[in-house]
Amino acid sequence: MSRPLTHDIELRVNGVRHRSSVESRRLLVHHLRETLGLTGTHVGCDSSNCGACTVLLDGVAVKSCTVFAVAADGADVLTVEGLATDGEMSPVQEGFRQCHGLQCGYCTPGMVVSATGLLLDNPEPTPAEIREGLEGNLCRCTGYQMIVESVRWAAEHGGPGPAAQAHAERATEAGLR
Ligand code: FES
Ligand code: FES
């Protein structure tokens, strides 16, 4: 049997460069979780529906179960582990804490990263715009109202936060967003 084709890739993840060899079929979410040990990015489905695997890829929120790791070669990735700055939660993370935007927490990393991406694009979203912006993220617990309030809280208390802002600025400077 022939060996699977592998590719050498380099990613910048949460500010740290990682070089790896990946199989062609390796998904970014599995690369992040299993190779790099960043298990904050969750897998909630195998059908691109739940959004639990959302990360920022060159400033854009993507479902990392829909991206091959090899396709992300050279990219700058921000996961939920990279949102805090100097040990302080980002405004979105703090908003979810303040407004009880989670229950079991399974969807929360994806929700927080998607909301961060939303606030990068739209710093003052209306409740309707928040619901539309997060429609790719499913939550089985909260009924969504507290999540909308969490994102509104974040919009009023610093928006996406410094780590996400810096990540987005790098992507803008590189002409990627
Ligand atoms: S695990 Fe990616 S959308 Fe559900
Ligand atoms: S808090 Fe449980 S799935 Fe969202």
Give residue-wise pLDDT tens across range 33-78: 999 999 999 999 978 999 999 999 999 999 999 999 999 999 999 9
CB 70 within 8 A of CB 24: yes
Same domain as 74, residue 26:
yes
Task: Clarify whether residues 151 and 100 are in a common domain.
Answer: yes
pLDDT over 70 at 1, yes or no: no
For range 127-149, the mean pLDDT: 97
Q: Which ligand is nearest to the CA of 30?
A: 1
What residue owns the CA closest to ligand 1's atom 3?
48
- CA quadruple 147, 76, 82, 132: dihedral, nearest 10: 0
pTM of the entire predicted model: 0.96
Domain count, the chain: 2
pLDDT tens for each residue of 137-147: 999 999 999 99
Q: For ligand 2, atom 4, which residue shows the shortest CA distance?
A: 139
Q: Which domain holds residue 10?
A: 6-83
